[in-house]
Amino acid sequence: MLDIKLLRQDPDAVTAALAKRGGAFSVEAILEEDGKRRALVHEMEQLRAEQNVASQAIGAAKKAKEDASEAIAAMKGIKDKIAALEEQVRTVDAMLTDLLLRLPNLPDESLPEGLDERANREERVWGEVPEYDFEPKDHVALGEDLNILDFECAAKLTGARFCLGKGAGARLERALINLMLDMHTGTHGYTEMLPPFMVNSDSMRGTGQLPKFAEDSFKIEDTDYWLIPTAEVPVTNIHRDEILKDADLPLYYTAYTPCFRSEAGSHGKDTRGMIRQHQFNKVEMVKFVRPEDSWHELEKLTQNAEAILQALKLPYRVMTLCTGDLGFSAAKTYDLEVWLPGQNAFREISSCSNFLDYQARRANIRFKRDKKPEFVHTINGSGLAVGRTLVAVLENYQQAGGSVKIPDVLRPYMGGLDAITPS
RNA sequence: GGAGAGGUGGCCGAGUGGUUGAAGGCGGCGGCCUCGAAAGCCGUUGUGCGGUUCCCCCGUACCGGGGGUUCGAAUCCCCCCCUCUCCGCCA
C-alpha cells in the first residue's frame, strides 16, 4: 500500500510513476474519497466530543441526585446524527481502502522502462553455457527415460500440471531442498521457518495477493483458507501487526514450502514438463530490514540465491525487470534465469524483490527506534524454485547415454550416488 | 465434533454501566544516591485517525474481532475468532 500522504502531497509524481507500469491508475478518485473521509471524520468527532462532555455532566448530575432527564433527552438527537455519520465514514473508508489496496507499488527509478520482458536489462552472466556432442534431451524425456518423473501418472492422480517424482527423482528434489536450506541457514545467516501451507485472507492481503489477484490462488471451499502461492505469504505475515524492536533488525528467514498456483491465464504456456505446475516446491528467503538498508540487503539476498546456482555449477544470468514486467507489490526485482539446454534458453528460477514499505504498510509491520514507530522494509526472493532447479540439473548434467551426473555438492544428500542411470 | 473455562497495555494481573487509556506489580527509559554497581527512592512509559504553530498540543477511537442496548460500555446482550482443560476422533 502506498502512503496516502504521498498521494496528497504529489499526486502528479505518483501518477507518472504508476504510468510506467503500463496500466491506468486513477489517483484522483482516491484523493476525492480521502477528502470526503476527512471531512466526515472531523464532523463526527466534533459531535462525539460534544456528546462526551454532556454524558459526563449527566453522570455528575445523577451522582448529585439532580434531575438530568432534560440533558438526556437533548443527547438523543445527537446520537442518531453520530450514527449516520459513522455509517458514512464506514462506507467511504471501505471504498478508500479498497482503492488503495488495488494500487501497485511505485517502480524504482533505476528500472529500465518498458512494457514487457523484452525491456528487461541483463546485469551479468555466470558460468559457461555447455556444449554437447550429442542432441541434448529436455527434462521430460530424461525424467521419463530414467523413470524418475511421471507426468502421466500425476495426471491420473490429479490432473494437468502436476508431476510425480519417483525414486532418485524424488530424492533429488529432497536433496536440493536440503542443500538450499543448509546453505541459507549455515552460511547466509537465515533462520529456518516451517510455516502453514494455508493462510487466511488477512495474510493474503498483507503481501498483496488480495484483493486483486484472487483468481491466481486456490481457495479451500467453505473456509477462509488459501493454499499459499509462495512462502512469502506466511513468512512475511509472521510479523503482521507487530512493532519490532530496533535491535531485532535485520531479520532473515528462510522456508521450504510447496507453492500452489492456479496459473489462470497461462493456458497453453509451458504445458510440457514441470516448468509451470499447479504445485511446486520452493525455498524462499524473506528479510525485514531498516529502510536505509533495504537496497543493500536486496543485493545480498540476490547473491544468496546466486550462491546456490554457483554451488550447483549451473550457468545463469541476472536480469533487472523493467517497469512493465515488475510484480504488483515490488519496487525492484532481479530475476535469476538458469540455462536450460532442453529449451536452449535461459528460464526464470528465482525472483528477488525489494518491496520497500509497501508490504509493511499493508501488513502493518513496524519497528521502533525513536518516538514514532516506522514501517520496516521487506525483501524476498526464491532461493530457489526447487522444481526448476531439478529441471536444470537434469538437463545440464545429462550425459551422452541418457544418464545424469549428480553435482558434487549434492552427492552427500544423495547417499553418495554419483549418477542416475537408466535401469 | 461434544462439554466447560478464558481472552485487559511489552509481560503478569485488578476492574463488572459514569474523569478508567484503564489500579497494582514486573520490565523499559530518565533522574537521585554511589568511586562504580546492586539495592532503594522519585519521575516517566501504548497505538491509529483527524486538527494543528506537525510531534508540542487539542480532539477522537482502541480492553480478541464485529454488531447491538444506553445520555454514557472494558463492564450488559448477540454473532464470530482464538487459547486452555476434559471427552470423542485421529497422525
ipTM for the predicted complex comes to 0.90
Q: Which nucleotides of B are covered by protein (CB under 7 A)?
A: 18-19, 47-51, 55-56, 59-61, 67-68, 71-72
Query: Within 10 A of A354 (CB to CB), how many other CB atoms are there?
Result: 26
pLDDT value of position A60: 84
Which range among A36-50, A139-153, A348-362 shows the weakest confidence by mean pLDDT?
A36-50
Q: How many CA atoms lie within 13 A of A84 on its CB side?
A: 7
- With 90 as the cut, is the pLDDT of residue A155 above it? yes
**pLDDT band, residue A384 (cuts 50/70/90):** very high
A323/A81: higher pLDDT:
A323
Nearest-angstrom CA–CA distance, A124 and A131: 20
A window 81-110: Cβ near strand B (< 7 A): 83, 90
Q: What is the average per-residue pLDDT within A164-187?
A: 98
Q: Is A4's CB less than 7 Å from nucleic acid strand B?
A: yes
Work out the average pLDDT over A119-139: 96
**Long-range contacts formed by A266-271: CB under 8 A, 24+ apart:** A271/A160, A271/A161
Q: State which amino acid sits at residue A214.
A: A
Residue A252 has pLDDT above 80, yes or no: yes
Per-position DSSP letters for A117-159, written without gaps between them = GGG-EEEEEES-----SS-PPPHHHHHHHTT-EEHHHHHHHT-
Using CA atoms, how far apart are residues A87 and A67, in angstroms rounded to an integer? 33
Rounded to an integer, the average pLDDT of A246-265 is: 93
| Average confidence score pLDDT of chain A | 94
Q: Given a cut of 90, is residue A74 above it in pLDDT?
A: no
| Cβ atoms within 10 Å of A129's Cβ, excluding its own | 12
* Span CA (A4) to C1' (B53), Å: 23
A369-406: burial string, b at 16+ Cβ within 10 Å, e else = eeeeebbbbbbbbbbbbbbbbbbbbbbbbbeeeeebbb
CA of A200 to C1' of B87 (A): 30
Q: Is the peptide bond before A384 cis (omega within 30 degrees of 0)?
A: yes
What Å value separates CA A236 and C1' B16?
40
How many residues comprise chain A? 423
Q: CA A205, CA A198: separation in Å to the nearest integer? A: 14
Alpha-carbon span A114 to A96, nearest angstrom: 30
CA angle at A18 for the pair A17 and A19, rounded to the nearest 5°: 90
Long-range contacts of A357-362 (CB under 8 A, 24+ apart): A357/A3, A357/A291, A358/A1, A358/A2, A358/A105, A358/A208, A358/A329, A358/A330, A358/A331, A359/A206, A359/A207, A359/A208, A359/A236, A359/A329, A361/A1, A361/A2, A361/A3, A362/A1, A362/A101, A362/A205, A362/A206, A362/A207, A362/A208, A362/A329
Residue with cell 541483463: A122
- The answer to whether A369 CB is within 7 Å of strand B is no
Sole residue written with cell 438523543:
A76
* pLDDT, tens digit, 9 for 90 and up, residues A95-115: 999 999 999 999 999 999 999
Residues of A tagged active-site: 261, 276, 348, 351, 388
Query: What's the DSSP call for residue A406?
Result: P
**How far apart, in whole angstroms, are the C-alpha atoms of residue A107 and residue A96?**
22
Alpha-carbon Rg of chain A, whole angstroms? 27
